[in-house]
Amino acid sequence: MNNIKHNFKKNSKNNWKSNKKTHKKRNLKKETAVVKCIGMDEDGKGIIIYNKEKVAVPYLLEGETAAVEILRNGKYVTGRIIEIKKASLYRVKPKCPCYNECGGCQMQHMSYEGQSQFKQKFVEELMKSYGKVNPIITMEEPYYYRNKIHATYTYGKKGQIVSGFYEESSHRIIPIERCIIQNPKADEINASIRELMKSFKMKPYDEVRGEGFLRHVLIKTGFATKEVMVVLVVSSSVFPSKNNFVKALLKKHPEITTIIMNVNNKKTSMVLGDREKVIYGKGRIKDILCDCTFDISPKSFYQINPVQTHKLYSKAIDMAHFNGDEVVMDAYSGIGTIGLIMSKKVKSVIGVELNKDSVKDAIKNSKLNNIKNARFYEGDAGEFMVDMDQAGEKLDVVMMDPPRSGSDEKFLSSLVKMSPKRVIYISCNPVTQARDLKFLTKHGYKVEEIQPVDMFCQTYHVENVVGLCRKNF
C-alpha cells in the first residue's frame, strides 16, 4: 500500500500543477477526509460526496474507502488520493511504469474485468430508456492493439534526446520507451530514431523557441500485412543527410515499407503539416480488414484496433439484416472501410464524406477491391439526402459513424425525411449517441439492438453500435 500511496501523491501533484496554470491561484484550500467512492464518472474518475458536493477523484474505484485531499481553487474542485484504506477487488498494479504521469490510459489501475463492467454499466445507464444492452464485446489480449502511434521528440532533463507523449492537460512530454497498448514495433523504431539523431546531430524541435528539426514521428502498421509506415514530421523542408539517415534507419528496420517527410513549420498543436514528400517507398501502406484491402495514407482515418474493428463492423452489418436488394448510404464514410465491406451484401452503396482526401482514398480502395456497386461523393450527407429525396430516390439503410461530437439536427432531420427502413449508428461517444437517439426515436424510429464494443482497452472510451428500424416497417 505504501507504493500506491507514494504514486498517487506524485501523480496528483503533477496534475494539480498543470491545472493551476489554467486556474488563478486565488484561495487555494486543502482539506483532508476519509471518504467512500459512490460511483464513477464517464472519464473513469471516482465520485465522492464531500460537504454535499460531488467531487471527482482520479484513480479512485467504486466502493473503495480512501483518505483523500480535497483541493479547491475558486469554483474548481478536485481530489487526490493520499491512501487507499479499503481497496476494490478490481484494483491492480498498472503494468506501465509511466502510468501515473502519461495521460494516454486512464484505467490501468483497474483489472480488465473491472474495466469491462465499468463500460457495460456506463452504456446501460445512457441507453436504459431505449432497451436492453448486449454484453460488451471484449478483447482476449487487451494490450498492444494500437496500429497507429504518435510520438513527440524533445530533450530530457540530462540533455538526452527523448520521445514520448504529452502529460494530460499540459505540453510537458513524458518520455516513453515502451507503451503497452501500442504495437511494440513502433517502440523499437522510435528507439532507433533517437539513436540515429545523435549520430546525425539532428536536434528535436523546441516549440517554445521555435528551433530544432524533428517534431514528431507518426508510425502506422498494417495488422494483416505487417507493412510499416514512418512519417517524420519536421520543421523544415531542408533535411541534411536525408538519404544517409533513411539508409541507416532501413538497415536497422528493413520491415519499414515507406518513409514520408511531413513539413510542419507552424506554431500549432496539429501534428501533421500540409506539405509532405515521400522519401522511401510508395508513401502508403495496405491492410486487410473483413476480406477487403485498404490503402492507407499518412492522413487517412483508419480504426486503431483492427481485431475489435472486425467484430464491430461484423455486428453492425448483422444488425442491418441485409437481403441483397438494399440501397445503403455510408454517411461519414471516411476512406470507405465499412461501405466497401458491406457492398458485397447489398445492391449498392453510396458513401458521402466532407473530407476530399478521404473521398479520393475511398475511390482508390473501391478500385483496389474491384468493387463496382459503391460510389463515393464529397459533400454533406444531410444535404445529399435532401437532394436524393427531391429527386425521388430511395434509401433502405443508413450506416452512420460520426465523430465524437455526434451528428447534428440538420443531418438527422434529413435522415428522418428520407425515412430509410433501418439506421445503424456506430459511435465512439455514447453520450452524444444517446442525445441523437432521442431525436430519432421521437421521429419514427425504434431501437432494436444495442451493442458496446471495447475498442480502446485501458482507457475509459467505449464504442457502441445501435440498430434502429422505422416504426411502421
| H or E segment to which residue 63 belongs | none
Residue in the block written with cell 502529460: 167
Q: How far apart are CA 408 and CA 429, in angstroms?
A: 14
Residue in the block written with cell 444517446: 434
Q: In what order do the strands lie in the sheet with 39-40?
A: 39-40, 46-50, 53-57
Grid cell for residue 428: 465512439
Grid cell for residue 397: 439503410
Whether 72 and 28 have beta carbons less than 8 Å apart is answered as yes
Q: How far apart are CA 102 and CA 111, in angstroms?
A: 19
CA distances to 115, 131, 351 from 399, rounded to whole Å, are: 28, 20, 9
Phi, psi of 163 (to 5 degrees): -135, 150
CA distances to 144, 309, 325 from 223, rounded to whole Å, are: 11, 11, 32
Q: How far apart are CA 114 and CA 108, in angstroms?
A: 10
Whether 423 and 443 have beta carbons less than 8 Å apart is answered as no
Strand 214-221 to strand 173-175: parallel, antiparallel, or no bridges (unpaired)? unpaired
- Our answer to whether residue 96 is catalytic in this structure is no
98, 105, 292, 428: the catalytic one is 428
Grid cell for residue 94: 498498472
Whether 264 and 271 have beta carbons less than 8 Å apart is answered as yes
Q: How far apart are CA 115 and CA 454, in angstroms?
A: 9
Whether 53 and 31 have beta carbons less than 8 Å apart is answered as no
Q: How far apart are CA 296 and CA 152, in angstroms?
A: 22
Interhelix angle 242-252/184-199, nearest 10 degrees: 140
Q: How far apart are CA 359 and CA 457, in angstroms?
A: 30
Nearest 5 degrees, angle CA 367-CA 369-CA 370? 60
3-class DSSP state of 119: helix
Nearest 5 degrees, angle CA 22-CA 175-CA 79? 40
3-state helix, strand, coil in the chain (%, to 5): 30, 30, 40
Residues involved in catalysis: 428
